[in-house]
Amino acid sequence: MQTLTTEETQKILEDMTVNFNHGGRKITVPPPIFLAMKAEILSYTKGKSITVAFPVSEDQTNPMGMMQGGVIAAAFDNAFGPLSYLVAKRPTTTIDMNIQYIRGVAVNQKVIVTASVEAKGFSTIHMVGEMRTEKDKLLATATTNLLILKIPGGAGE
């Protein structure tokens, strides 16, 4: 399996944005929330996995000063989403996502989310993910199922 650089992966995602935007529809890959969370694609293994880093900032915290659970979910979604588009070469939407919170996520660190494709069918993709510290300590895990939409215009269409 071929692993692409951050720049090569970003170029594919940018090309998808252009390809998906026709017929009055606007689809942005990666989405604005990806950019707002200051996400950084570290690696992409074609058809298999993506690794994305997220800085943890104070504005993402719960009352106890730890990364809020919804923001953790958003980090997983911001890894699953781009990977699903890269694998399906079409827009997708989340059917479900389940998260297991292992330990609190402290501020002023970077978390690393790795999402992997476990199974891809004609209309769905099943993925698993892990969130870890830069020192490889497990913080959370997640699973998701995504529906591949029948909207034409992906790369290779």
At 46-75, the pLDDT tens digits run 999 999 999 999 999 999 999 999 999 999
- pLDDT tier, 90 (very low <50, low <70, confident <90, very high otherwise): confident
What are the tokens at 121?
Answer: 């069918």
What are the tokens at 92?
Answer: 């997708």
Would you give the DSSP letter of residue 104?
-
Report d(CA 38, CA 99) in Å as an integer: 21
Of 15-24, 86-95, 137-146, which one has max mean pLDDT?
137-146
pLDDT at residue 118, as a whole number: 98
Report d(CA 148, CA 152) in Å as an integer: 11
- Chain centroid to CA 102: how far? 19
At 92-117, the pLDDT tens digits run 999 999 999 999 999 999 999 999 99
Topology given in CATH for the domain delimited by 6-148: Thiol Ester Dehydrase; Chain A (3.10.129)
Whether 107 contacts 51, CB under 8 Å:
no
